[in-house]
Amino acid sequence: MRAQDYKISSEKFVFRATNDNLHDTKLETKPLTYFQDALRRFAKNKASVVAAIIIGILLLFALLAPFLTPFSVAYEDNNYSFVLPKNPIFYNLGIPFWDGGQEKEVNQLAYDQYRAIQQELGRKVIMSDVEAREETYMGKTKTLYSFRLDTYNAVGVKYVELTDSQYKALQAYQDANNVQVILPITEFKRRPEAEQDQNNANIWYRTKLGAGRKTEIVFDKNGNFIPIYEKDTGDGRDQYTSKMYWEGDTKLYNYAEKKQNSWMVRVDYREYYIYQHAVADDGITEPLFLFGTNNAGKDVFTCLASGTRFSLFLAFIVASVNLFVGAIYGAIEGYYGGKVDIIMERIVELLSSVPFMIVITLLKYHFNVSHVLILFIAFFLTGWTGMAARTRMQFYRFKNQEYVLVARTLGARDLRIMFKHIFPNAIGTLITGSVLVIPGVIFSETSLSYLGIISLSTGNLTSLGTMLATGQNYLFTYPHMLLFPSLFISLLMLSFNLFGNGLRDAFNPSLRGTEE
């Protein structure tokens, strides 16, 4: 079509000199590599970025927490079982949250027992004001007391058996530090008759056997406890030399019972705990458990960090091995195709058809190896096939592209074409698949441990599933045992899935530009 048809004046057309150099307009933006572009698009997915940050925090917790606590997974102290989470900041400020306290409603006997511990040790056991209410059931009225109980101080006094040298060392310690650890022993004949209370060292007062063979407290006429401390008869049965606890007494009481080759001693267990760890020099200064303890007296904080580290380590190892084996296997399948692909694919289908639970069961009952090794073998045998299928699909997609034909024409060998030209184009899909394998492994391991099929609670080893299985029996009485591992695994699973979805979208070239 001619210029005049557009009604454009011919003067607007200017001939360019033939000796002028013509250049394309310079790009104002810097070129991006594939991974730079993927990172840029990933950063625009806010949910995935937040998930990545959470994963980073959880990883740091799993790696660093064991070095920030003096406890180990193997550590346990049954005397401090079921104590609640305690933060010293909240405790010192008197905030009724995360202070090691528990809301309790108890009967008259239990209330008096807590009062007795508080009176003998001089430490606060009842942390709040006490509210009393009466309850009538089947014509009988009883009084119930509600208050906040210090689960640490409520441990009170315990009996311990010491050798002669240990007994004297304990005396020397309390003299040197001006602290009372040893308390007067109680008279054997005046201890509780009720079988369940005979070894209760906290009962330092007179009792009698009441209805239903239950312990009842005997008060004096003023409503005070009546001590039943054993008087010192001067017969040398007690070699106690420290006189610290009772002001003004001149060795009025015995402080230990002589056994055949040892001494039975009543100790303030909090102070005895501090003494034990001061002697052991293991960095523990006082009974303080940030996330509380479980039924065995294990530190939940330490177990959570160790269990998370184990679960993540297992998941990363499984994902890495599956990626390595599956990528090589799938690359051979997809590149050569034909009979090679048919034979190898039948092997994959055979392995894929075996249920994971069957593999676990067979390995568990026919091989006398650790459950950790059983888990790894089971995840490997059934896990790499999915990675192989993804790699095979990507190789079928790219192996007939022009750049591959050019490389083959120029004499490139098969290995070079497979892993230099084709594999880099499939790496995005494979990385995304590997990341999504991690939460699957963690969830499977947790489920197996929770159901008791796999046991990982031995020595210095535990897992999130083991903690969940332990805590489920105490859901309504001590929910902290279940709260922390369940919250942790929920965050872990959700974050890894959001992170994996973000990677999948970022590494998908077909989505480039759609987020603008």
Summarised one tens digit per residue, pLDDT across range 170-225 is 988 988 888 889 999 898 888 898 888 888 999 999 999 888 888 889 998 898 99
Q: Is the pLDDT of residue 21 over 70?
A: no
For tokens 């970022």, name the residue.
506
Mean of the per-residue pLDDT values for the chain? 84
Please state, in angstroms and as integers, the Cα–Cα distance from residue 436 to each residue in 34, 95, 123, 363, 425, following that order: 21, 42, 52, 25, 19
Q: Is the pLDDT of residue 146 over 90?
A: yes
Of 152, 172, 154, 153, the C-alpha closest to 162 is: 172
How does residue 231 score in pLDDT terms, banded at 50, 70 and 90? confident
Q: What average pLDDT score do residues 252-276 get?
A: 89
Contact 116, 122 (CB under 8 A): no
Q: What average pLDDT score do residues 129-134 get?
A: 90
| Residue 51: per-residue pLDDT | 92
| Residue 412: per-residue pLDDT | 83
Of 454, 492, 465, the C-alpha closest to 378 is: 454
Query: Which DSSP string corresponds to 111-158?
Result: HHHHHHHHHHH-S--B-S--EEEEEEETTEEEEEEEEEEETTGGG-EE
First to last CA, the chain: 38
Query: Phi and psi of 149, rounded to 5°?
Result: -100, 135
Contact 436, 507 (CB under 8 A): no
Percent of the chain at pLDDT exceeding 90? 23
Query: Which DSSP string corresponds to 189-218?
Result: GGS--SGGGTT-TT--B-EEE-GGG-EEE-
Report all structural domains of the chain as residue ranges with CATH numbers, in order of start: 51-62+299-511 (1.10.3720.10), 88-151 (no CATH), 154-280 (no CATH)
Please give the Cα distance from 428 to 243 (Å, whole number). Answer: 75
| Residue 110: per-residue pLDDT | 92
Contact 274, 463 (CB under 8 A): no
The string of pLDDT tens digits covering residues 436-494 is: 888 888 888 888 888 778 777 766 778 888 888 888 888 888 999 999 989 988 898 88
Contact 81, 480 (CB under 8 A): no
DSSP label at 250? S
Upper half-sphere CA count for residue 469 (Cβ side, 13 Å): 19
Upper half-sphere CA count for residue 16 (Cβ side, 13 Å): 5
Please give the Cα distance from 325 to 75 (Å, whole number). Answer: 39
Q: Is the pLDDT of residue 31 over 80?
A: no
Query: Phi and psi of 260, rounded to 5°?
Result: -60, -50
Q: Is the pLDDT of residue 113 over 90?
A: yes
Contact 266, 185 (CB under 8 A): yes
Angle between helices 300-336 and 338-352 (to 10 degrees): 150
Q: How far is CA 467 from the centre of its chain?
A: 8
The token pair at 366 is 């026919």
| Residue 310: per-residue pLDDT | 86
The token pair at 434 is 């590997």
Three-point CA angle 440, 446, 447, nearest 5°: 90
Please give the Cα distance from 160 to 168 (Å, whole number). Answer: 14
Q: Is the pLDDT of residue 238 over 80?
A: no
Pairing of strands 182-183, 101-106: unpaired
Q: Is the pLDDT of residue 154 over 90?
A: yes
| Residue 505: per-residue pLDDT | 79
The token pair at 48 is 């995935």
Please give the Cα distance from 335 to 415 (Å, whole number). Answer: 10
CB neighbours of residue 427 within 10 Å: 16
Please state, in angstroms and as integers, the Cα–Cα distance from residue 396 to each residue in 125, 322, 326, 392, following that order: 72, 20, 15, 6
DSSP label at 230? P
Q: Buried b vs exposed e over 302-319: b needs ≥16 C-beta within 10 Å? A: bbbbbbbbbbbebbeebb
Q: Is the pLDDT of residue 4 over 80?
A: no
How does residue 271 score in pLDDT terms, banded at 50, 70 and 90? very high
User: Which of 111-115, 240-244, 346-350, 499-503 is the least confident region?
Assistant: 240-244
| Residue 86: per-residue pLDDT | 93
| Residue 117: per-residue pLDDT | 94
